[in-house]
Amino acid sequence: MKKSTAIQVVLLASTAGVAARLGHQLITHNVSVMATISAVLAVLSTGLFIASRLAYVGRTVVYDCPAKGCAVSIRVTDVPETERARYRSYAVDHRKHSGSA
């Protein structure tokens, strides 16, 4: 499991604060317990989802072919540097993936 980044920690802490405040407001306005729990869990799960997507985006590298009109784009996540170099060389050398010699 990857270590959390500072941005993820701040995002999750602020999400927890928003969820707690929302739960408090709903309870003080006589909203049912089940509706309050549902709303709080929805806010918390949204925060967790966004934090997980931030972690994924931070570990992803995209290599595009520099040839004009070529649509080759390689997205690499969580691979060793040697493997990343192999993908990069494939993406930037148009002859390797265009079928021309």
Q: Which of 22, 15, 16 is nearest to 37 (CA)?
A: 22
What sign for the dihedral angle of Cα 41, 43, 49, 54?
Answer: negative
**36 and 69 in a common domain:** no
**54 and 86 in a common domain:** no
Please report the pLDDT score of residue 53 as a whole number.
Answer: 85
Helix (H) or strand (E) holding 34: helix 33-58
Tens-digit pLDDT string for the chain (101 aa): 567 778 888 999 999 999 999 999 999 999 999 999 999 999 999 999 998 888 777 678 899 998 888 888 999 988 888 998 999 888 888 888 776 65
**52 and 25 in a common domain:** yes
**52 and 20 in a common domain:** yes
Please report the pLDDT score of residue 95 as a whole number.
Answer: 83
The domain total for the chain is 2
Task: Let me know: does 87 contact 79? Beta carbons within 8 Å.
Answer: yes
Domain residues for 19?
A: 6-58
Is position 1 within any domain? no
> What pTM, to 2 d.p., does this model score?
0.61
Please report the pLDDT score of residue 20 as a whole number.
Answer: 97
Please report the pLDDT score of residue 1 as a whole number.
Answer: 52
**40 and 67 in a common domain:** no
Please report the pLDDT score of residue 78 as a whole number.
Answer: 81
**20 and 50 in a common domain:** yes
